[in-house]
Chain A
Amino acid sequence: MGLMGDAVRTQGLFKRFGQQVAVGGVDLIVPRGSFAGLVGPNGAGKTTTLGMVTGLLRPDGGRAEIEGHDVWTDPVGVKSNIGVLPEGLRLFERLSGRELLTYNGRIRGISPEETRRRADELIQVMDLVESQDKLVVDYSTGMRKKIALAAALLHNPRVLFLDEPFEGVDPVSANTLVDVLRRYTSSGSTVIFSSHVMDLVERLCDWVSVMNRGQIVAQGPLTEVRGERTLNEAFLQLVGARGNGEEGLSWLGSPTA
């Protein structure tokens, strides 16, 4: 099947909620070692796709493979290889940041000593030393994303799935997240993250998959997908954004009250 070069590969992934088709046959491909962006407008099916690929949402059809392991028939091969940071972020809120990392390390069978060593380093890198003993429920959005990323990285997964990791994050925390992710991919691991901030995707990613209305409308190396344009222009064209908003609103900002 030639899957060995791909970190993630899905075929005809399909999901409907009631009448509405959320994801209508998605063939997502992410080559190993890439920093991949999954972009699309709100409601395009990004979160649903990531949920099905990570085994949190059962698809109605199609298949998904990670590092050559089928997500739904070979959970052992998949789960030890992936780290996940879902959207909406509920963590074990009544644990402190440090306790959360300890818990995650130990349910994944890492020894207490090794867990402590890794947790120490992650807390240091994420700049969470001062708040490591506070409960996660009292964390700010940026702190939550950082501790969640730390928890997702603790078992050294080969593929990392991040759903809107930069949403509501302050620039300082965002910078920390980006640094950690860059280091992580430079060692040959794969990151797939969803976003609708095109500038960020353009700056970080070498691979882009564009989704619209439950379908992949373009996929490939960043330079190919955007061509001569900026990614934002390419994206707007791909999803068929209408008009430039010049009709109506003529009163807005005009001197007549």
Chain B
Amino acid sequence: MARLSDGVTSPGPAGPGGVTPSGPAGTADLTLFALFVRLKGRLILGSLRGDTAKQIGFVFSVLAAVVCGAGGFLLFALLRMASPGTALDAGVVVFAVFTIGWALIPLVFFGLDETLDPSRLALFPLSTRQLAIGMTAASATGPWPLATLAILAGGIAGLSRGPGGVVIGLLAVALQFVLCLVVSRLITTALSGALRSRRGRDVLAVAAVFVVLAFQLPNLIVNRSNPGDVAGLFSAAADVLRWTPPGLAAHAIADGGIAGVADLAAVAVVVVVLAWAWIAALRRALVLPDASNQGGGSVRRSWIERFLPRGMLGAVVSKELKYARREPRGRIAWFSAIVVSGVIMFSIRGDAGPSGPGSVAGPACLAALMIGLQAGNVFGLDGRSFWMNAVAFPTEREMRTDLAGRHLGTAIIAVPLLAVVALVAGLLMGDASWALPAALTAWGVLGVTLGAGAVASVLLPYTVPERLNAFSGAAPGQGGLAFVSSLGMMLASAAVALPIFLPVAMGLTWVAPLAVPYGLLAAWGGRRLAASLGFGRMPEIFAAVSRGS
């Protein structure tokens, strides 16, 4: 370990591929750079070998990167047509967004991209400096880093106003690109200990929802204000970001003179400081004990079970409630349901659209549909632990009870939540009395979607990947199945729910009390049908939900 964390200059005897860095330091660095570029390339190719779904996915990813890179370059270059002030504002914002994106997105891929984790490379005889060079090289390799570089380069065309701007622009784009790489490396390295542990990944998975939300925020704000204000919004953001490193880099291109050089010098200092911090963090990460094997703490024994039914039903409900709390996928599902309901509520309010009980019942029922959708693949969430139920359920009755327990668990969280959604929607629409029929209808719709979800769960089960990834909710090759399952369930729920939703939406609020028994009936019918279809299919369900992901 000592040799890994010591000298900045001592070149190691051999790199991972048996390449011996000899001769002048510059050539050695270049060799090392090339070596890591090849390593990253091999890792990408290796992960694709023998898996058609992944290969197709990769081809699409490369195409998307090419389109984004070329399109981004063109769009950025088109800023030339805008006034210099507007162009600069936009440039500052784009540079800043890329820096933030690079800081956050690699966190999601930690564990998937082996070159992100310094501990994987710790045993190779490389000095910290060599490791830093190598990891920078690995970060810069791949379709998306190159797309980033292409888009950033569009800034030269879009922002520069003369030959000085072009020269400074080339330097500024290079510095900005390195800034992106170094920021992303600093953050993954500093957090690598936490990211390797189960707890750290759990926290991160939920944090990812907030990141997605943060990216949606400007969207919502733009929707609220009138479209002409976008330029105003950009300039307000640019004012804030002007003196940040990406802001300085963008400004340098636009300025193209002495001030631009000064801007660049400042960015360069920041990059050097961040790189130094990164190397320090790397040195520390390499010799720190591995936190991934330290067991987590104990959980409190649950008191809630005292209030649940004694038999199997209570056991399933209590397991469901624990999973909603402890399993990141459960937490994410609930968070997203709440967030989506909130977004729907606020966007409906913005329109000068329909006002009446329907405008309150609408968002509440949509929220119910969102929550119910989670129940469209209940065995998929069990995944490879489904066998524990499969070997224990001797008759259809147990399967029905299992589904009922899951529905009850969902309802315990969803019923109060939907009541709050209905109340808030009522208050926003200016008539809280609409909240009651809206809540009743939403509860009914929830029952209908749970019933439809039970049937979808046995007819079209699919594997939910255990490692979260932002782009797919199903195991490779089952994406189409997952889509058909959710779509079918949505359509079926909507069709069955129409008789209770439509009258309320049209103002016949006296129908609303009927919605709850209707929903209960639909859920009960769904469970019966699902259990009678599903009991004989348990081996097939088990196979479908336990595919490797």
Contact B295 A134 (CB under 8 A): yes
Q: List 17 additional A-B contacts (Cβ < 8 Å) besides A58-B540, A80-B394, A91-B385.
A: A54-B391, A56-B390, A56-B542, A90-B383, A90-B387, A92-B385, A92-B388, A94-B326, A98-B301, A99-B322, A104-B392, A107-B393, A111-B310, A131-B295, A135-B296, A137-B198, A140-B295
Tell yes or no: B314 within 8 A of A by CB.
yes
| Chain B residue, CB-CB nearest to A80 | B394
28 A-B residue pairings within 8 Å (CB atoms): A54-B391, A55-B539, A56-B391, A78-B394, A79-B391, A79-B392, A90-B387, A92-B382, A92-B385, A95-B322, A96-B299, A103-B319, A104-B388, A104-B392, A106-B312, A106-B315, A107-B316, A107-B392, A107-B398, A107-B402, A112-B310, A131-B295, A133-B300, A134-B295, A134-B299, A135-B299, A137-B198, A138-B296
Report the separation of the CA atoms of residues A151 and B314 in the bound assembly, to the nearest whole angstrom: 18
Report the separation of the CA atoms of residues A109 and B398 in the bound assembly, to the nearest whole angstrom: 10
Contact A108 B392 (CB under 8 A): yes
Tell yes or no: A82 within 8 A of B by CB.
yes
B window 309-338: CB within 8 A of A: 310-312, 314-316, 318-319, 322-323, 326-327
Contact B395 A76 (CB under 8 A): yes
B window 261-300: CB within 8 A of A: 295-300
Q: Which residues of chain A are within 8 angstroms of B382 by Cβ–Cβ distance?
A: 92
- Give the distance to chain B from A80, nearest Cβ to Cβ, in Å: 6
Report the separation of the CA atoms of residues A58 and B383 in the bound assembly, to the nearest whole angstrom: 18
| Chain B residue, CB-CB nearest to A84 | B391
Q: Which residues of chain A are within 8 angstroms of B316 by Cβ–Cβ distance?
A: 107
Q: Which residues of chain B are within 8 angstroms of A88 by Cβ–Cβ distance?
A: 384
Tell yes or no: B532 within 8 A of A by CB.
no
Q: Which residues of chain A are within 8 angstroms of B244 by Cβ–Cβ distance?
A: none
Tell yes or no: B86 within 8 A of A by CB.
no
Q: A94-B323, A98-B301, A133-B301 are in contact. Are A106 and B314 (CB under 8 A)?
A: yes
Q: Which residues of chain A are within 8 angstroms of B315 by Cβ–Cβ distance?
A: 102-103, 106-107
- Give the distance to chain B from A164, nearest Cβ to Cβ, in Å: 15
| Chain B residue, CB-CB nearest to A82 | B391
Tell yes or no: B141 within 8 A of A by CB.
no
Contact B539 A57 (CB under 8 A): yes
Interface size range on B against A: 35 or more
- Give the distance to chain B from A8, nearest Cβ to Cβ, in Å: 15
Contact A90 B384 (CB under 8 A): yes
Q: A106-B315, A137-B198 are in contact. Are A151 and B296 (CB under 8 A)?
A: no
Contact B384 A138 (CB under 8 A): no
| Chain A residue, CB-CB nearest to B391 | A84
Tell yes or no: B389 within 8 A of A by CB.
yes
- Give the distance to chain B from A136, nearest Cβ to Cβ, in Å: 9
Q: Which residues of chain A are within 8 angstroms of B543 by Cβ–Cβ distance?
A: 57
Q: Which residues of chain A are within 8 angstroms of B318 by Cβ–Cβ distance?
A: 103
- Per DSSP, chain B at the interface is helix
Tell yes or no: A45 within 8 A of B by CB.
no
Q: B: which residues have CB within 8 A of A?
A: 198, 295-302, 310-312, 314-316, 318-319, 322-323, 326-327, 382-385, 387-395, 398, 402, 538-540, 542-543, 546
Q: A55-B390, A134-B298, A134-B299 are in contact. Are A95 and B312 (CB under 8 A)?
A: no
Contact B392 A75 (CB under 8 A): no
Q: Which residues of chain B are within 8 angstroms of A151 by Cβ–Cβ distance?
A: 388
Q: Which residues of chain A are within 8 angstroms of B312 by Cβ–Cβ distance?
A: 106-107, 109
Report the separation of the CA atoms of residues A4 and B476 in the bound assembly, to the nearest whole angstrom: 46
Q: A: which residues have CB within 8 A of B?
A: 54-58, 75-76, 78-80, 82, 84, 86, 88, 90-96, 98-99, 102-104, 106-109, 111-112, 131, 133-135, 137-140, 151
Report the separation of the CA atoms of residues A106 and B313 in the bound assembly, to the nearest whole angstrom: 9
Q: Which residues of chain B are within 8 angstroms of A137 by Cβ–Cβ distance?
A: 198, 296
Which of A94, A106, A137 has most chain B Cβ within 10 Å? A94
Contact B394 A107 (CB under 8 A): no
Contact B326 A135 (CB under 8 A): yes
Q: A90-B384, A95-B319, A107-B389 are in contact. Are A79 and B299 (CB under 8 A)?
A: no
> In the complex, which of the residues A91, A96, A106 contacts B388, with contact meaning CB atoms closer than 8 Å?
A91
Q: Which residues of chain A are within 8 angstroms of B298 by Cβ–Cβ distance?
A: 96, 133-134
Q: Which residues of chain B are within 8 angstroms of A90 by Cβ–Cβ distance?
A: 383-385, 387, 546
Contact A106 B301 (CB under 8 A): no
Q: A76-B395, A109-B312 are in contact. Are A58 and B539 (CB under 8 A)?
A: yes
Q: A88-B384, A98-B301 are in contact. Are A75 and B539 (CB under 8 A)?
A: no
Report the separation of the CA atoms of residues A106 and B316 in the bound assembly, to the nearest whole angstrom: 9
- Give the distance to chain A from B321, nearest Cβ to Cβ, in Å: 11
Q: Which residues of chain B are within 8 angstroms of A75 by Cβ–Cβ distance?
A: 394-395
- Give the distance to chain A from B133, nearest Cβ to Cβ, in Å: 32
| Chain B residue, CB-CB nearest to A130 | B298
Report the separation of the CA atoms of residues A75 and B319 in the bound assembly, to the nearest whole angstrom: 25
Contact A56 B387 (CB under 8 A): yes
Q: Which residues of chain B are within 8 angstroms of A55 by Cβ–Cβ distance?
A: 390-391, 538-539
Q: Which residues of chain B are within 8 angstroms of A58 by Cβ–Cβ distance?
A: 539-540
Report the separation of the CA atoms of residues A96 and B546 in the bound assembly, to the nearest whole angstrom: 22
Q: Which residues of chain A are within 8 angstroms of B384 by Cβ–Cβ distance?
A: 88, 90
Report the separation of the CA atoms of residues A111 and B315 in the bound assembly, to the nearest whole angstrom: 11
Report the separation of the CA atoms of residues A57 and B311 in the bound assembly, to the nearest whole angstrom: 28
Report the separation of the CA atoms of residues A134 and B298 in the bound assembly, to the nearest whole angstrom: 4
- Give the distance to chain A from B299, nearest Cβ to Cβ, in Å: 5
Q: Which residues of chain B are within 8 angstroms of A95 by Cβ–Cβ distance?
A: 319, 322
> In the complex, which of the residues A80, A103, A138 contacts B295, with contact meaning CB atoms closer than 8 Å?
A138
Report the separation of the CA atoms of residues A93 and B323 in the bound assembly, to the nearest whole angstrom: 9
Please provide the 6 A-B residue pairs with the shortest distance between their CB atoms, ordered closest to farther: A90-B384, A106-B315, A133-B298, A138-B296, A94-B326, A76-B394
- Give the distance to chain B from A229, nearest Cβ to Cβ, in Å: 37
Report the separation of the CA atoms of residues A95 and B319 in the bound assembly, to the nearest whole angstrom: 8
| Chain A residue, CB-CB nearest to B316 | A107
| Chain B residue, CB-CB nearest to A54 | B391
> In the complex, which of the residues B385, B390, B542 contacts A93, with contact meaning CB atoms closer than 8 Å?
B385
Q: Which residues of chain A are within 8 angstroms of B311 by Cβ–Cβ distance?
A: 106, 109
Q: Which residues of chain A are within 8 angstroms of B299 by Cβ–Cβ distance?
A: 96, 99, 133-135
Report the separation of the CA atoms of residues A167 and B347 in the bound assembly, to the nearest whole angstrom: 56
